Structure 1
Amino acid sequence: MDELRTRISLSGVIGRSIRVTKAGREFKACCPFHNEKTPSFTINDEKGFYHCFGCGAHGDVIRWMTDHQGLPFMEAVKELALQAGMDVPAPDPRAAKVAEQQKSLHDVMAAAQDFFVRSLADERGEQARRYLASRGFPPGVVREFGFGFAPDSRTALKEALSAFPDAMLIEAGLRIVVEGKEPYDRFRGRLMLPILDPRGRVIAFGGRILSAEKTDAPKYLNSPDTPLFDKGRTVYNLHRAAPASRANGRVVVVEGYMDVVALAAAGIGEAVAPLGTALTEHQIERLWRLVETPTLCFDGDAAGQRAAMRAITRALPMLRPGHSLRIATLPKGMDPDDVLKRDGPPAMEALLNEARSLVDVLWQVERDALPLATPEDKAGLKARLLAHCETIQHPDIKSLYRRELTERFGELAFARKERAPFQPRTGGQSRGNQGKGPWKPAPPPLGADDKARMLKVGNGPSTILLSAVLAGLVRHPGQISRHVESLARLQPEDSRTAALLDALLAMADDAQTLESASLEPILIERGLRPPSAQDYAGMRFGFSAGESGQASDELAEAVSLLVELPAVEEALAAATQAHETAFSDDSFAEQQRLLQRRLALLARLGQMGRARAAL
C-alpha cells in the first residue's frame, strides 16, 4: 500500500472528479464534501494528502476513493492498483482462481453491453428509441446510463458473442438453460440498462419489455445472481450517486432503475435503487457509508406502502446513533416520473424535503393498519408497536423508541373527551346549594396569568399558597396547633417566610394562647412581617381575608395541599422512570393514577384563587 501511494498522483486521481487548479506547490479546488464558492480544498502531492479548511475533510488517495467515490476499502485498493500497474496479492490460490474467473466474466459482460448499445442504434432498436423519446430522456442521459436494446431473438446475443463459449454466457446470466432444450438468450425484445459495480464495470443487466402483446412476460427482468452480481448487495447507480451525495449530503432511494434515470434527467443525481428486491441490510449499510440518513421515496399505492414497511422492519435492528432513514411518500398512483412530468422538479424536491422520520412512519402505518374501535383493537396496536421496538438492538435507541411510541399510544388510547360546558339551572337552586341560600353562579375561571402565578413552585411548596396559609394562621392562631406536624414538613425557599413559619411553630410548642390582635404586633417586634395580599399575588382566600365561618376547613385543605402536592410530584417522577424501565401494564396504571391525582390537586389549587372573583 505504501508503494501504491507513491506511484499514484493524488491530484491526478482527484482531478478526474472535480476541477483542480495549480497553486504554487499544491493544488486547490472547491471542496466536494460541502458546498462552497471560494476554494478551501487543498491537494499536496508531495505529502500525499488532501485537506479542506472549511469542513475538515482530510485523507490520502485511498480515503478519497472510499469517502468520495463510495468504494469499499479493498475495491479502492484494487482500483488504484490497476491504475498504477500493480497486482494485488491474492490471499490464496482459490481466491486467485475466482478473481481470474471474474475477470473473464467482466470481459463477457463488456462485450454484451457493446452489442446492446449497437443494437439500439441500428434499425432493430427503433421501437426502443421511440420509447426513450416518450420518456423525455435527453441523448446525454441515454449515453451516460448506457441504454441498449436486446433483439427479439433466442440466439442473437450468442451469435454476437461467438468468441466466448456458451458456458461463460450461461454463467454470466446472459443465457438460460432448460433441461432437455437448447439454451436461449435471457433478454429478448427489451430495452436494456447495464448494472455497474462501484468501479463502473458491467456486472448485470436490467431489461424492460417493449411489446404490449407479451402480457405473460414480466415488465422488468434482471440478471440472476452470478459470480459478479448479488442482488441483495448491489445498489443501482451507486457509483454515480456517490459524488453527488457527498456534495449535498443526501441519497434518494427509489423503487426502480427507470425512476433513477428520470430523477437524474431532472437534475437529481444522487438517486439509487435496489434491484428487484426490498431494501436489504447490506444495501442499507452501503447507503450509510454515504450519508447517515438516506431518504426512501416510495410510490403512493399499497405496494409502495408495503415496500416502505419492509424497509423499516429491515432497518430497525440496525439503527445506531445518528443513523436512520427518512420516508418520502408520493401522491397515490404516481411514481417519480409522473410527479416530474406533471409538476416539475421543484415539486419533487418539495416532496423529498417533506420526508418524515422512521418513527413517524412506523407509528402512522401501524395506527392505520386496523380499526381501533375496541379496547382489544387498541391493545393490538400496542403489542405491534412493542414488537417493533424489541427488534432494535441498540439499547438507548430501543428505550427511546419505546418511550416515544408509548407516549403516542397513550395520547390515542387515553384521550380525554371534552365535556359539555356546565349549564346552571334556571328558576331554582343548584344541587350543591340546596338549603344554603339562593343559587349563585360559579366564579369565572381563573385567568391564565393568575393561574401561572398561583401554581408557581420551585423546589418547595407553592410560595403563593404558603403566604396565604401563613396569613390565615396569623389571623386564626388557634389553628396552628392542629397543623404542627404538617407545617413542620414544609421547607420554604424564602428565608423570611421560613423564619415566620418557625416562629409560629415555636409559639405552638410553647403552648401560647394568642389572640389574632396580639399575635401580629409580637411578630413585628421580632422583625417578622406577616404576609399581606401582595405576597400572594392579590388573591383572596377566605381564611386569609378574615372570614371565620369556614376558616378551619379551608386552612386544613390548604395545608394538606402544601404537603401532598410535592409528594405526588416526586412519586410521579419515580413512577415515570419505573415505567420506562419495566414498561408493564401495572407500571403504566400507577403512572396514570399519580398523574390524575396531580391534576386534581392542581385543579383544586387553582379553584382556591377564584375566591377573589367570587367576592
Structure 2
Amino acid sequence: MLNLEEVLSSKLNRFKYSGGVWASALCPFHKETRPSFGVNMETGFFNCFSCGARGGIKTLLNRLGISENLVNIRTLKVVRKEPVTSVLPEWILEAYKGKLPKKYLNSGFRKDTLLSHEIGFDTYELRIIFPIRDIDNNLVGISGRTIIDQNPRYKFYKFREIKGYKPAPHRYLWGIDKVRACSEANILDLIVVCEGFKAAMWIEQAGYSAVALMGTFISSDQVRLLGYFYKPTYIFLDNDQAGKANEVKVAQQLLGYVPAIYICRYKREVNQPDELTPEEIKWGIDNAITILERRRENEARFIMES
C-alpha cells in the first residue's frame, strides 16, 4: 500500500512537496502553466486556487482514477480544529502571476514596479491582485480590486480551505517588507503613509518609501510597525472627505512613536496621490505641514465656509 505522496507524485504534473502541510502541483482539472493546485498532505483535502475545484481525499482519488485500495488513507488525520495561522503558502500566488494589469501599465506604472510588488490578476474574480506581506516578508494576505462594477470594490481573500487561516489586514502595513529592505540597506530616510495600494506604489515609484494602511484609519499594530523604524513620517491620504477627516487623527496616533510627523499637501485638486505627477508628489512632500499647521488651516477653512 502506497502513501499519499507516492501516489500524487505519479499522477500530478510538477508535484512538489517539501514537508509541512501543503503540496502543490499543476491542476489536473484545467489547463495551466503555473501550479495553483494544493493538497493538504495531512487530511487529503485539495483545492485549486484558480478554477475552484475542491474536495476531500476520496473525491480526489476518484477524479484521478486511483483506487482507494492503493492508498493508505487511514493514516490521514480527521482535523476538527486547527491553530489559527496568519501565513499563507507561497505557491498560492502562482495562480495570479504573469498577468500584469494593462490598465496600470497604461496609467504610468512601470513593469518593474508591478513585478516588485507581485501584482497579478484573478481571471475568475476579475480582480487585480495585491499580495500582502509582513515585516518578515511572509505572505499574510491577498487583496483583490475589482475591474468591473461589483461590490466590494476591494476584497480580502479568506481562503477558507486553509485550515486556521484568519485574514487580519489591519495588523500589517502594505509595503512594510520593502521599507525594511531599505532600512537594512541604510537608504531609508522617511516613510510616506497612504490609504491604498496604488497610491503607495505610485509614491514609491517616485522615489520614496511608502506604505498603505489599506483604509483611512490606522491600527495600534500599524503604529507600532512605523515606530519600529523611527523615521520622519509623512501622511499622504486621499484628497476626499474621508481622507481630510482622518489625516490629523492618523498623525496624532503616531505622536511619540516617530521623531517627526508631517501632513502632505496637494498641489492641485485631484482625488488621490496616484493622480499626481512625480514632480507633484515631490512638491507635496517638500511642502508638507505639521499637525498644528493643518489644524489652523482647517479652522480657517471652517470660518470662511460658515
| TM-score normalised over the length of structure 2 | 0.62
Query: Residues 146 and 248 of structure 1: is their aligned pair in 2 closer, same or farther, counting only changes over 3 Å?
Result: closer
Q: Kindly report the root-mean-square deviation, in angstroms, between the aligned alpha carbons of the 2 structures.
A: 2.9
Aligned length, in residue pairs: 218
Q: 1:140 aligns with which of 106, 112, 131?
A: 112
Q: From the superposition, tell whether residues 370 and 130 of structure 1 become closer, same or farther in structure 2 (CA, over 3 Å).
A: same
Provide the residue aligned with 1:369 in structure 2.
Answer: 302
Residues 295 and 352 in structure 1, CA contact (< 8 A), matched pair in contact too: yes
CA distance in 1, matches of 2:122, 2:240: 31
- Normalized per residue, the structure richer in strand is 2
Aligned-pair identity (%): 17
Q: How far 1:259 moved relative to its partner?
A: 1.1
**Other-structure match for 2:170:** 232
Bigger Rg over Cα = 1
Equivalent residue for 2:200?
260
1:273 Cα deviation from its structure 2 partner? 0.8
Task: Give the 3-state SS of the residue equivalent to 2:169 in structure 1.
Answer: coil
SS at match of 2:140: strand
Task: Indicate the SS of the match to 2:96.
Answer: helix
Counterparts of 2:259 and 2:203, CA distance in 1? 24
Give the structure 2 partner of residue 281 of structure 1.
220
Query: SS of 1:289's equivalent?
Result: helix
Could you give the per-residue CA deviations for residues 274-294 of structure 1, whole angstroms, max 9, x where no partner exists? 123512232122112213431
CA contact (8 A) 2:216 2:242 kept: no
Indicate the SS of the match to 1:199.
coil
Change (3 A) 1:325 1:149: same
- 2:91 paired residue number: 111
Aligned pair in 2 of structure 1 residues 284, 111: CA closer, same or farther (>3 Å)?
Answer: same
Taking structure 1 as reference, are residues 356 and 142 closer, same or farther at Cα in structure 2, changes over 3 Å only?
A: same
Q: Please list the CA deviations of residues 347-392 of structure 1 after superposition, one character each: whole Å capped at 9, or x if unmatched.
A: 311210111111221333245335698xxxxxxxxxxxxxxxxxxx
For residue 207 of structure 2, what is the amino acid of its counterpart? G
Alignment partner for residue 189 of structure 2, among 214, 224, 249? 249
CA distance in 1, matches of 2:299, 2:219: 21
- Give distance in 1, aligned partners of 2:97 and 2:151: 23
Indicate if the aligned counterparts of 1:324 and 1:358 stay in contact, CA closer than 8 A: no
> For the residues of structure 1 that align with 2:243 and 2:216, how far apart are their CA atoms?
13
SS of 2:88 mapped into structure 1: helix
Q: CA distance change for structure 1 residues 248 and 200 in 2, over 3 Å: closer, same or farther?
A: closer
Q: How does 1:143-182 map to 2 (within 5 A)?
A: 143-152=115-124
1:335 to 245, 264, 272: 272
TM-score normalised by the chain length of structure 1: 0.33
For residues 165-187 of structure 1, give each alpha carbon's deviation from its aligned partner in whole angstroms, at most 9, with x where no partner exists.
xxxxxxxxxxxxxxxxxxxxxxx
Q: Distance in 2 between matches of 1:365 and 1:281?
A: 26
Instruction: Find the residue that maps to 1:191 and give its secondary structure.
Output: strand
Question: Normalized per residue, which structure has more helix?
Answer: 1
Counterpart for residue 141 of structure 2: 204
Relative to 1, partners in 2 of residues 1:106 and 1:369: Cα closer, same or farther, differing over 3 Å? same
Match of 2:279 among 340, 346, 353: 346
What runs of 5+ residues in structure 2 fail to find an aligned partner?
1-81
Q: Give 1:142's aligned amino acid.
A: L
3-state SS of the aligned residue for 1:106?
coil
Change (3 A) 1:248 1:334: same
Structure with the bigger RCO (C-alpha within 8 Å, sep 6+) is 2
Query: Structure 1 stretches of 5 or more lacking a match?
Result: 1-96, 121-127, 153-187, 374-615
Q: Which residue of 1 aligns with 2:155?
A: 221
